[in-house]
Amino acid sequence: MIKLPGYFPQILLALILIISLLACGGSADGEKTGGASPNASRAVPVQLTLVEQKEVLVELYSVGRLVSRNTPSLAAEIEARVVEVLVEEGEAVQEGQTLVLLDTTKTELARREAQAEIQRLKASIANEQRRVDRYRDLKTKDVMPQERLDDAEAQLAVYQASLLAAEVHLAIAEDQLAKARLLSPVDGVVETRHVSVGDFVKNGTHMVTVTDTQSMRAMLPFPETVGYQLKLGQTLFLESPINPGHVLEVTVTQIRPQVGLMNRSLMVIADLENPGEWRPEATVEASIVVERRPDAVVVPARSVVSRPAGYVVYVFESGYARQRIVETGEKGDGWIEIRSGLQAGDEIVKEGAYYLSDGAPVVVQETAL
């Protein structure tokens, strides 16, 4: 007979207790998993949300530049010497402000000469008119030959024509005197000063370039492939890095008829008034609204995940995640449009979708994961 060690019964008893505890634990787990949620131990924590409807804008994007609608390069209209330059580059000017003064000595003399000629001719006309009146009176009495009356009337007509010519010369001289003062035609900023004091300028010599910084245009190239979507009057949202954060809403005022030879793009133009800090030739970023969808279905961007079947969203059904293949549309700030696969009011997984598969058990959490 084999004799067992004295401590063997204690070991055997301990093994029996362990087996009993394991059996009880398995029974408890079986009772726990045998309820409504058999895979509760494997459930994925998620957050839920409802599918919504909102207006979605279908937009195209472009990066262009701002230009001034008025950048006149002001030139001399008479021949004269520059006697004073009243502005400097970068200086703001107003419409009608004097920019440059030209020498008016020669023009002033021509004006005075025309005035003197007018006075002389008026005196001659008055005298000749009296002679004609006298000759006509004598002719009625048959004591004046018709020939002498005709000569007097002809001379009066000559004086009157000469007076008209002298008045024209005076108007020309006064016009040249006015043009000796170079005036700004717009409110703006002096872009370039082309002359200095002492320069002799001829008719057509450029003297000052003024840039209108208020009336501007946005020049925006769009690919020719989207040309069929572009229409006059469409809404544009503009933003310039020179004044970040300020978005200006305008409309399309022109679409150039020709496609650019180098970039194969259509030029879209929008007229605008400077909102305050924008500058000509600055970069401008634009989005153009080509379609409005007032009742589009949208979901949070995090709820859409990529799977072998395509883009999917998980719908919550009685503690399980059910996969729905969806067709996506426009994307916005934190949301994605769903063109098909979901309806407004569906309860979907907002947080935790990345870790799910079709039919996976889920547990709903109210706080962020």
Task: Give residue 12's pLDDT band: very low, low, confident or very high (50, 70, 90).
Answer: low
Phi and psi at residue 273, to the nearest 5° = -100, 135
Query: Is the sign of the CA dihedral 190, 195, 200, 202 positive or negative?
Result: negative
3-state SS of the chain is CCCCCCCHHHHHHHHHHHHHHHHHHHHHHHHHHCCCCCCHHHCEEEEEEECEEEEEEEEEEEEEEEEECCCCEEECCCCEEEEEECCCCCCEECCCCEEEEECCHHHHHHHHHHHHHHHHHHHHHHHHHHHHHHHHHHHHCCCCCHHHHHHHHHHHHHHHHHHHHHHHHHHHHHHHHHHCEEECCCCEEEEEECCCCCCEECCCCEEEEEECCCEEEEEEEEEHHHHHHCCCCCEEEEECCCCCCCEEEEECCEECCCCCCCCCEEEEEEEEECCCCCCCCCEEEEEEEEEEEEEEEEEEHHHCEEECCEEEEEEEECCEEEEEECEEEEECCCEEEEEECCCCCCEEEEECHHHCCCCEEEEECCCCC
Burial class (CB in 10 A: 0-12, 13-18, 19+), 357: exposed
In one letter, which amino acid is 349? V
Residues 256-315: tens digit of each pLDDT: 999 988 888 999 999 999 998 899 999 999 999 888 899 999 999 999 999 999 999 999
CATH number of 40-55+294-364: 2.40.420.20
Pairing mode, strands 52-68 and 283-300: antiparallel
Residues 102-127: tens digit of each pLDDT: 999 999 999 999 999 999 999 999 99
Residues 54-92: tens digit of each pLDDT: 999 888 999 999 999 999 999 999 999 999 999 999 999
Residues 17-41: tens digit of each pLDDT: 455 544 444 433 443 333 344 455 5
Residue 168 has pLDDT above 90, yes or no: yes
Spatial neighbors of 80 by CB under 8 A, at least 6 apart, are: 102, 103, 104, 106, 107, 180, 200, 201
Say what percent of the chain tops pLDDT 70. 88
Query: Is 221:215 a contact under the CB 8 Å cutoff?
Result: no
Q: What is the reported pLDDT for 221?
A: 95
Name the fold adopted by 73-103+180-211. OB fold (Dihydrolipoamide Acetyltransferase, E2P) (2.40.50)
**Of 316, 124, 152, residue with least CA distance to 144:** 152
Q: What is the reported pLDDT for 18?
A: 53
Pairing mode, strands 181-183 and 52-68: unpaired
Residue 9 has pLDDT above 70, yes or no: no
Q: Considering only residues 37 and 240, tell me which one the structure prediction assigns the higher pLDDT.
A: 240
Spatial neighbors of 54 by CB under 8 A, at least 6 apart, are: 296, 298, 335
Domain range 104-179, CATH architecture: Orthogonal Bundle (1.10)
User: What is the rounded average pLDDT of the residues 347-354?
Assistant: 93
Q: How far apart are CA 113 and CA 347, in angstroms?
A: 95
Residue 246 has pLDDT above 80, yes or no: yes
Q: Supply the Cα-derived Rg of the chain in whole angstroms.
A: 46
Least confident of 92-96, 187-191, 260-264, 334-338: 260-264
Q: What is the reported pLDDT for 245?
A: 86
Q: Considering only residues 192 and 149, tell me which one the structure prediction assigns the higher pLDDT.
A: 192
Q: State the chain's mean pLDDT as an integer.
A: 87
Structure tokens, 347: 């309860």
Spatial neighbors of 83 by CB under 8 A, at least 6 apart, are: 101, 102, 103, 197
Structure tokens, 368: 């962020």
Task: Give residue 141's pLDDT band: very low, low, confident or very high (50, 70, 90).
Answer: confident
Q: What is the reported pLDDT for 310?
A: 93
Task: Give residue 159's pLDDT band: very low, low, confident or very high (50, 70, 90).
Answer: very high
Q: What is the reported pLDDT for 28?
A: 39
Q: What is the reported pLDDT for 39?
A: 54
Query: Is 114:166 a contact under the CB 8 Å cutoff?
Result: yes
Query: Is the sign of the CA dihedral 77, 78, 80, 83 positive or negative?
Result: negative
Burial 153-178 (b: 16+ CB within 10 A, else e): beebeebeebbeebeebbeebeebbe
Q: What is the reported pLDDT for 57?
A: 86
Domain ranges of the chain: 40-55+294-364, 60-69+212-293, 73-103+180-211, 104-179
Q: Considering only residues 176 and 41, tell me which one the structure prediction assigns the higher pLDDT.
A: 176
Class in CATH terms, 60-69+212-293: mainly beta
> Do 40-55+294-364 and 104-179 show the same overall fold?
no
